[in-house]
Amino acid sequence: MYNKEDKILIIGAGGQIGIELVQELSLLYGSSNVIAADLKPIEALEVNPFEKLDVLDKDALLGVIKKHKISHVYLLAALLSATGEQNPMFAWKLNMEGLFNVLDLAKEKHISRVYWPSSIAVFGPTTPRINTPQYTVMEPTTVYGISKQAGERWCEWYFHKYGVDVRSLRYPGLIGWKSAPGGGTTDYAVHIFHEALKNKTYECFLSADTALPMMHMEDAIRATIEIMHAPAENIKIRGSYNLAGISFTPEQIAAEIKKHIPDFTITYKTDFRQDIANSWPQSILEDEARNDWKWSAKYNLPSLVKNMLQNLA
Ligand code: NAD
Ligand code: AKB
């Protein structure tokens, strides 16, 4: 259910998710109703109105919301797990203050709906790592994960306290061919395709047997749009929903790529991101998303690999 009158603001529109989300929402609402905002202009998005905006500047954010009569905000600006560990205090500031600015403007009724993504990074080494359920032990060990866990609790609090219609998904690592990843631990699963096609070899920064949940960007964008368009009464979780995606190791994705590029080889040289990956689940359960708003993913590992190689080639 969506209303053609809604006007959308995507903050962090120049990032890995933003570029694809702007394009998909533009198909539904029309390009002129989907406003792309980021710190700097976005070459890939020529047709949508663009606003140069720092989400930490609440007055400027309100100005953009009023100027375009925005109803829905998708807040994507954040530092991810790897870059967050390099700059912890700034990661905390950006990830939390950006969220507060948007939630406060929703509380003050300047906007009627908010989307804010969480991550599998909310889980930690004490979480059951296989088939991680929605409700379980959560002791994240990265600044990024701590900010996402805190953000989830704040979203729920703004919903209960002020009735803010905020919706959220715990994305796994996202894999798409239209845009580059921005500093996460799961980025290898995008880089591997570019290197396989260009050089037929890839040096992976995670070990061969590191299983992590991942998802094709097309599924992630569809999940985002579906949860934002679901009737409010179906959204039973106002923290964030687990999404399962597909779980695989570098060795397994490399073997799948080899079916298409037989002379592809992979080598391994782990770095600090290995410790982050070791603290995250290997596989996730998504029963609540399936039951509440009827979520179902389309891609498995073979179809994801085929799609990525075809499009990047
Ligand atoms: P990204 O790093 O690719 O993009 C973030 C964008 O935000 C960039 O274009 C950046 O210029 C912009 N930005 C940074 N600071 C800003 C500011 N102060 N004001 C306005 N814009 C600013 O990130 P992404 O991968 O697209 O992720 C988007 C969101 O989804 C993040 O909250 C991230 O935690 C979450 N997420 C992503 C993944 C993934 O695999 N990509 C997985 C789980 C969760
Ligand atoms: C990261 O690796 O930081 C992100 C994520 C899973 O949140 N891709």
Domain of 158, in residue numbers = 8-122+139-173+215-242
pTM (2 decimals)? 0.98
Q: Is residue 147 over pLDDT 80?
A: yes
- pLDDT tens, residue by residue, 120-141: 999 999 999 999 999 999 999 9
- Nearest Cα neighbor of 13 from 28, 3, 4, 23 is 23
- pLDDT tier, 5 (very low <50, low <70, confident <90, very high otherwise): confident
Instruction: Tell me how many domains the chain contains.
Output: 2
Asked whether residue 147 falls in the same domain as residue 191, the answer is no
Alpha carbon distance 230, 235 (integer Å): 7
- Measured N-to-C along each axis, helices 301-312 and 250-258 cross at an angle, to the nearest 10 degrees, of 60
Cross-strand bridge partners of residue 37? 11, 51
What is the Cα 250 distance to its own chain's centre? Answer: 20
Please give the distance, rounded to the nearest whole angstrom, from the Cα atom of residue 79 to the centre of ligand 1: 6
Asked whether residue 183 falls in the same domain as residue 299, the answer is yes
26 domain residue, yes or no: yes
Please give the distance, rounded to the nearest whole angstrom, from the Cα atom of residue 273 to the centre of ligand 1: 18
Q: Which ligand is nearest to the CA of 91?
A: 1
Which atom from ligand 2 is nearest to the alpha carbon of 280?
Answer: 6
Alpha carbon distance 248, 251 (integer Å): 8
Asked whether residue 44 falls in the same domain as residue 143, the answer is yes
- pLDDT tens, residue by residue, 13-30: 999 999 999 999 999 999
Q: Tell me which residues are annotated as active site.
A: 144
Asked whether residue 49 falls in the same domain as residue 144, the answer is yes
Residue ID of nearest Cα to ligand 2 atom 8: 173
133 domain residue, yes or no: no
- pLDDT tens, residue by residue, 58-80: 999 999 999 999 999 999 999 99
Tell me the average pLDDT across 187-198. Answer: 98
- pLDDT tier, 254 (very low <50, low <70, confident <90, very high otherwise): very high
Which atom from ligand 1 is nearest to the alpha carbon of 116?
Answer: 32
Average pLDDT, the chain: 97
Asked whether residue 109 falls in the same domain as residue 237, the answer is yes
Report residues whose beta carbon is within 6 angstroms of any ligand 2 atom: 80-81, 119-121, 144, 173, 184-186
Give the whole-number percent of the chain exceeding pLDDT 90.
97
Which pLDDT score, from 0 to 100, does residue 1 have?
64
132 domain residue, yes or no: no
> Which residues, including other chains, have CB under 8 Å from residue 219's CB and lie 6 or more apart?
245, 297, 298, 299
Asked whether residue 14 falls in the same domain as residue 117, the answer is yes
Q: CATH code at 80?
A: 3.40.50.720
Q: Which of 85, 118, 119 to mutate to test the pocket of ligand 2 (most atoms within 8 A of CB)?
A: 119
- pLDDT tier, 34 (very low <50, low <70, confident <90, very high otherwise): very high
Placement of tokens 């140069």 in the chain? 52
Q: Which of 17, 76, 81 to mutate to test the pocket of ligand 2 (most atoms within 8 A of CB)?
A: 81
308 domain residue, yes or no: yes
Please give the distance, rounded to the nearest whole angstrom, from the Cα atom of residue 174 to the centre of ligand 2: 8
Q: Which of 76, 87, 169, 221 to mutate to test the pocket of ligand 1 (most atoms within 8 A of CB)?
A: 76
Asked whether residue 145 falls in the same domain as residue 275, the answer is no
Which atom from ligand 1 is nearest to the alpha carbon of 55?
Answer: 19
